[in-house]
Amino acid sequence: MVTVSPGARPRQWALWRQPPALVAYFLLIDTVAVALTVFFAGRDHVDAHQWKLFGVLVALALVQAELSRALEEARRLITNAPHVNMTTVWCYAAVILLPPSAAGALIIVVYAHLWLRVWRKLGTRPAHRVLFSTAIIVLSAYATAAVTSRAVTSHPADWALPNTAMMLGVGALVYLAVNGALVTAAAALHGKPHHIAIAWADYALEIATLCLGIMTAFMLTLAPYLAVVVMPPLLVLHRAVLVKQLEELAITDRKTGLLNASAWHDVAAAELSRAGRQHSSFGVLMVDLDHFKLVNDTHGHLAGDEVLRAVAGLLTSEIRDYDCAGRFGGEEFAVLIPDAHAEQIVTTAERLRHRVSELEVTAPTGTGDTTITGLSACIGVAVYPTHGTTLERLLLTADSALLTAKTSGRNKVVMITGS
């Protein structure tokens, strides 16, 4: 008897569970990528030397993916972060050196290998997302090829280096722009506009791999065996991403993305020192959700987690860039408000309390999604130096004010008068 896995049944593909507009967008991008690939395959002539370069680039890409697998497995166990993709090195080198059809074929081979060796085993990246990722890289490559097609010839003596460097730089910008635009459109259609925000660290990594791709193309043109020297810095860069993620993990609350208690204390201690030197004031808010246990008991812990994330997002969006929010554990948060006097601090606390009461959180339950409303919070306020000149005293005062708010009716902001 043959058993057919759910993923093999077209009607059960995860693609169909996406918003209709997003499904249409995925299919459009995939269709355009396939159509252009077929067009270029019929138009381009790939000579023996270019096929040799194609083989070298594919080999290097597969070797790099295999060498980084152990590092990726360790990173996933520790950080649970998405797979770090360094394929741009080989993709951009292919765009520079090969006809569009061969560059597209290389991208397809590289991503098929990643699917078979990494993503399929994890089970966290549906096939339609892999196809879409491949398609947008292919389209980015074709757009870039229009700029770089004449930048590098097969004979180094014919290079016009200033012009070549400029065209490759413009090509890198085109690659980033097309890639970013296609991903941004998908995020918007998915109904998650916060995903559209530019992740500068990710762009910096992409720029670094584009530069390595340019180096790879130059070395392959001079002498193919030199291309292996790109591998060590690429693997070091891969490891550096892991180190950065570990550093972020050490200071971040994984459930909400805010600073954890230890990291928040460090920031607050630095602000205390600065305020002491400059004779300025700052505020400490202790925020505690009312009856949060009832949310967990009624809707489940997954719904409770969504509420915590929603409150964390609210705090981040409602405070200034140089204010600082952290999670102390459970349903308790802390907010640091530098360079503010008591009236401003209380006004901020009241605004936060009011915004919590307006929250509508869509959360998963055993019977489907539900919308959670009627939330409220108590906020205790302490002001430096009025309520203390040490962080411990300020936190104790804010916590005492929080307790007063909770025992006097909840959904309140309390600041204890006096020192």
The residues annotated as belonging to the active site are 331
Q: Which of 87, 398, 54 is nearest to 213 (CA)?
A: 87
Q: What angle do CA 201, 207, 209 make, to 5 degrees?
A: 105
HEC-encoded secondary structure of the chain: CCCCCHHHCHHHCHHHHCCHHHHHHHHHHHHHHHHHHHHHHHHCCCCHHHHHHHHHHHHHHHHHHHHHHHHHHHHHHHHCCCCCCCCHHHHHHHHHHCCHHHHHHHHHHHHHHHHHHHHHHHCCCCHHHHHHHHHHHHHHHHHHHHHHCCCCCCCHHHCCHHHHHHHHHHHHHHHHHHHHHHHHHHHHHCCCHHHHCCCHHHHHHHHHHHHHHHHHHHHHHHCHHHHHHHHHHHHHHHHHHHHHHHHHHHHECCCCCCECHHHHHHHHHHHHHHHHHHCCCEEEEEEEECCHHHHHHHHCHHHHHHHHHHHHHHHHHHCCCCCEEEEEECCEEEEEECCCCHHHHHHHHHHHHHHHHHCCEEEEECCEEEEECCCCEEEEEEEECCCCCCHHHHHHHHHHHHHHHHHCCCCCEEECCCC
Which structure tokens are listed for 266?
């460090």
